[in-house]
Structure 1
Amino acid sequence: MPVPIRARRRDEEHRAATPLELFFDLCFVVAIAQAGRQLADALAEGHPGHGLAGYLMLFFAIWWAWMNFSWFSSAYDTDDPLYRVVTLVQMAGVLILAAGVPRAFESDFTLVWCGFVVMRLAMVTQWLRAAYGSRGAERRTALSYALGVTVCQIGWLGLLLLPKGAVPLVFVLVGGLELAVPGLAERGWQTSWHARHIAERYGLFTIIVLGETIAAATLAVQSALDAHDAPGRLLPIAGGGLLLVFAAYWIYFAVPIHRHLRGNRQAFLWGYGHYVVFGSAAAIGAGIEVAVRESVGRADLSAYGAAACVTGPGALFLCTVWLIHSRHHKRGTAQQLVLPVSALLVLACTFAGRAAVPAAGLVAAATVAVGVHLTSRQDTAPAE
């Protein structure tokens, strides 16, 4: 007989990410690196439409697989042997998916679909185990999740069976259904996810994505230096990219967000918005790689096009973090305008051409400085 698992309490004290969750997250580094590399190659070769479309679809698969596990584990993580084994199976699915990313960019989704099958079968097993250990509305919610995940996985078969021209339609329809499953499943009973734990999990994954961005940019600069020995052109890009990533870290972690996650509506909107946060953060690394290639004549696009590969995702990151994350803790017009104005200035740096990356880095660093100054003024202002 299977051992039931019980939901954890929302008010549980000292709830923190477990070593198994951290191990699970690290498996996604491979998939994110593969998606970023394919995006950089497509952009550098002058195929932005193909590259962006493939990246958006593949990053959705990566992000959604991580989301499914993270919210389930926040509510039901028992860390017993069966739970660990099923989670390890999910991790194997992540690695299969990562191996299939290059082929998926060429419209061969077989390996990605197989990796997703492994992850989703494990996820359905977890939800059925949760249903076995519960009664009433909680049981119906767990069974609804299991059914919804299964139906969606069958829907993804369209990527394999339908003509290539139908891929965007399949992605929109089945992706929309995937996003609808949590809301539909939790209409009668809300899973007991832990706000502080969820905020920590998202923060840790943000660090992983930014770390992968730094790694991708570092390898690109190292490769270009070895091949062309042009430090005068490459070091400003490296320095500007590093400033941009450091500022992204600072801005994301400037405010504690868990107090805003009071119910499913706020939490789901915040969680779904991180598709753009994570995706744009990872794309910054791909953009820096493209800028490096262009600076040494190894990219089939202009200096302004290469600049946009960095400034576009950089501006998108700043704007999205403000929209779903930071604005809830800003007071007054000046504080609220800092990130939107900074996003516009970063985007304007595109017109600096090969100087765009260091310029964007300086804008991002100035954004942090202004934010710190305004916060300190607010903290030291006399109470009325």
Structure 2
Amino acid sequence: MTLNSVFHFPARNPAETHRASTPLELMFDLASVIAIAAAAHGLAHAIEEAHTIQGVIGFLCSFFMIWWAWMNYTWFASAYDNNSLAFRILTMVVMFGALMLAAGIGTVFAHERIWLALLGFIVMRLGMAVFWLGAAHGDPERRTTALRYAGGITVMQVYWIALVVLVPPYSAIYLPLFVVGVVGELVVPALAERSGATAWHRHHLIERYGLLNIIVLGETFIAITAMIQLENNAIFPDREFLWLAVLSAIIAFSLWGVYFTDDDHLVSAELGQALLWGYGHFALFAAGASAGAGMIVMAHALDQSAHIGPQIGILATAVSVAIYLATLWLIRDRFCLKGVGRWMLLVVAGVTLLIALTAPMALELIALFLVATAMIRRRLSHASSRGSIS
């Protein structure tokens, strides 16, 4: 058995029926959720310590590394997962890199050099480079595309290593250079796919993205569970915390409701549309996770363990909800709905922010508003699907 025969990943059929997530992909999601939880809790702690700007920057930087590695693996697996031993072993190597990244996320918020997070990211990304080399060998039709991916990933890893080694994290140019690296990473697929689109499976990717959305919304469940934990030998949760948990749960369930409708999430396989949908989910996923962070802040403000007032937690949650809804409008609703209804999520995003900034009982109003939004949005989805059938 030669190395070439082992790392040989032929393209799958993009029209394959009954394509679903594999147990290996679900385990990869589990590795990613550990890192996502670490990033969300780092954001919550920063907000509680009144270091919101630094916390948001740290959260976005760390979340990008997590999401980008997850996204690259997910799209590759959609096109080339042949369930071989080599594919499974490489996937587990990339998973271990995700766990290393999760363990090192604390240094991102501490403004220290991110050695461990960088090492985890390198393991994940170089594992992907090996994947693409296997695709270049197993899919001659898209060999140029695969080699462009492998080369682009390797070049960007050199850039990230140079950034962390040469530039102190407290330097004024560190963040701009990080953004340059982000842009460089985003450009790699756009350039590679132009030489021949990979054989990714549209419905498989829609399912995979939906599953990660459930994971990021799971961050709200962590906060809700913490709110209703029993303390001091109590037999029933504190009334104020129970009410906060109920409102938080309503918000979380409503966000689930507006995402999982009957509408087609990815209406076209055209490259520009696919990139908008795939890349746009970064903001949606980050907002889902940060909504959980905002709920943690609300709980800690209520028990006075945070250095800020409860209004900050409400505002943090509302901003996250608004970004989630506005992003969902950008990547889905404006394409799949017609008439006034296509603008609903964008309007709701703005009203949510307005309520958080100006209204008394803001959290109660936001929860009621989101329930109504989820119900109306699902009616629009049913009407749209009936119209397409007729």
TM-score (norm. length: structure 1): 0.93
Residue of structure 2 in register with 1:208 after alignment: 215
Residue of structure 2 in register with 1:116 after alignment: 121
Do residues 132 (structure 1) and 137 (structure 2) align? yes
Do residues 359 (structure 1) and 370 (structure 2) align? no
Residue of structure 2 in register with 1:175 after alignment: 182
**1:22–1:230 CA distance, 2 compared to 1 (3 A):** closer
C-alpha deviations, 1:176-208, integer Å up to 9, x for none?
000000011111111111111111110111111
On the 8 A contact 1:330/1:336 being kept in 2, the answer is yes
Do residues 34 (structure 1) and 38 (structure 2) align? yes
Q: Structure 2 residue aligned with 1:10, among 7, 10, 14?
A: 14
- Aligned pairs (5 A) from 1:229-268: 231-257=238-264, 260-268=267-275
Q: Structure 2 residue aligned with 1:89, among 77, 93, 109?
A: 93
- Displacement of 1:327 in angstroms is 2.6
- Residue identity matched to 1:95: L
Do residues 64 (structure 1) and 68 (structure 2) align? yes
On the 8 A contact 1:310/1:357 being kept in 2, the answer is no
- Residue identity matched to 1:124: A
On the 8 A contact 2:261/2:378 being kept in 1, the answer is no
- Aligned pairs (5 A) from 1:1-384: 1=2, 2-3=4-5, 4-108=8-112, 109-135=114-140, 138-157=142-161, 158-164=163-169, 165=171, 166-222=173-229, 231-257=238-264, 260-333=267-340, 335-351=341-357, 355-374=361-380
3-state SS of 1:11 partner: coil
- CA distance in 2 between partners of 1:55 and 1:204 (Å): 21
- Displacement of 1:31 in angstroms is 0.5
- Residue identity matched to 1:54: G
- CA distance in 2 between partners of 1:372 and 1:23 (Å): 31
On the 8 A contact 1:255/1:329 being kept in 2, the answer is no
Q: CA RMSD in A?
A: 2.3
3-state SS of 1:325 partner: helix
**1:226–1:173 CA distance, 2 compared to 1 (3 A):** farther
3-state SS of 2:361 partner: helix
**1:204–1:237 CA distance, 2 compared to 1 (3 A):** same
On the 8 A contact 2:227/2:241 being kept in 1, the answer is no
Q: Which stretch of the first structure deviates more once superposed, 103-112 or 350-359?
A: 350-359
On the 8 A contact 2:266/2:274 being kept in 1, the answer is no
**1:80–1:364 CA distance, 2 compared to 1 (3 A):** same
C-alpha deviations, 1:278-317, integer Å up to 9, x for none?
0000000000010111122222223332211110001111
- Residue identity matched to 2:164: L
Q: Which stretch of the first structure deviates more once superposed, 319-328 or 29-38?
A: 319-328
- Displacement of 1:376 in angstroms is 5.6
On the 8 A contact 2:355/2:366 being kept in 1, the answer is yes
C-alpha deviations, 1:113-136, integer Å up to 9, x for none?
000111112111111111122325
- Residue identity matched to 1:344: G
Q: Which stretch of the first structure deviates more once superposed, 111-120 or 292-301?
A: 292-301
Q: Which stretch of the first structure deviates more once superposed, 116-125 or 277-286?
A: 116-125
TM-score (norm. length: structure 2): 0.91
- CA distance in 2 between partners of 1:56 and 1:325 (Å): 23
- CA distance in 2 between partners of 1:308 and 1:174 (Å): 30
Q: Which runs of 5+ in 1 are unaligned?
A: none
- Residue identity matched to 2:354: A
**1:240–1:194 CA distance, 2 compared to 1 (3 A):** same
C-alpha deviations, 1:125-158, integer Å up to 9, x for none?
111111122325x111111100100011111110
Q: Which stretch of the first structure deviates more once superposed, 353-362 or 210-219?
A: 353-362
- Residue identity matched to 1:208: I
- Displacement of 1:373 in angstroms is 4.3
- Residue identity matched to 2:89: V
- Displacement of 1:66 in angstroms is 0.2
- Displacement of 1:378 in angstroms is 6.5
Q: Which runs of 5+ in 2 are unaligned?
A: none
- CA distance in 2 between partners of 1:88 and 1:343 (Å): 39
